[in-house]
Amino acid sequence: MVIWMLYKIIRKLIGNLSLIFNKIGSFIVFYGNRVTFVSFKTTGIPYVMVARGGQFLIGYNFSMNNGIGGNPIGCYDRCTFFVDRGAKLTIGNHVGISQAALICHCSITIGDYVNIGGGVKIYDTDFHSLDPKLRVGNADMEHKAKVPVVIKDNAFIGAYSIVLKGVIIGENSIIGAGSVVTKSVPDNQIWAGNPAKFIREM
Report the 10 Å Cβ neighbour count for 33.
Answer: 15
Q: How far apart are the first and last CA of the chain?
A: 48
Q: Find the helix or strand (DSSP H, E) in which 201 lies.
A: strand 196-201
Helix/strand/coil for 91: strand
From CA 157, how far away is CA 114, in angstroms rounded? 8
Can you give the pTM of this predicted structure? Answer: 0.90
In the chain, where are the structural domains located?
Answer: 2-194
User: Can you list the pairs that 138-147 forms with residues at least 24 positions away whose Cβ atoms lie under 8 Å?
Assistant: 144/105, 146/105, 146/106, 147/106
Q: What one-letter code names the amino acid at 48?
A: V
Active-site option among 94, 105, 128, 143: 128
**Class in CATH terms, 2-194:** mainly beta
From CA 159, how far away is CA 177, in angstroms rounded? 5
pLDDT score at 191: 98
162-163 and 174-175 strand pairing: unpaired
For residue 89, what are the CA distances in angstroms to 45, 97, 129, 147, 148? 18, 14, 22, 13, 10
- Is residue 107 within 8 Å of 83, Cβ to Cβ? no
pLDDT score at 131: 75
Start-end of H helices in 42-181: 132-135
Q: CA torsion sign, 127 to 130 to 132 to 133?
A: negative
Q: Judge whether 128 counts as a catalytic residue.
A: yes
Q: Which residues does the chain have with pLDDT short of 70? A: 2, 6-11, 13-17
From CA 71, how far away is CA 148, in angstroms rounded? 28
pLDDT score at 56: 98
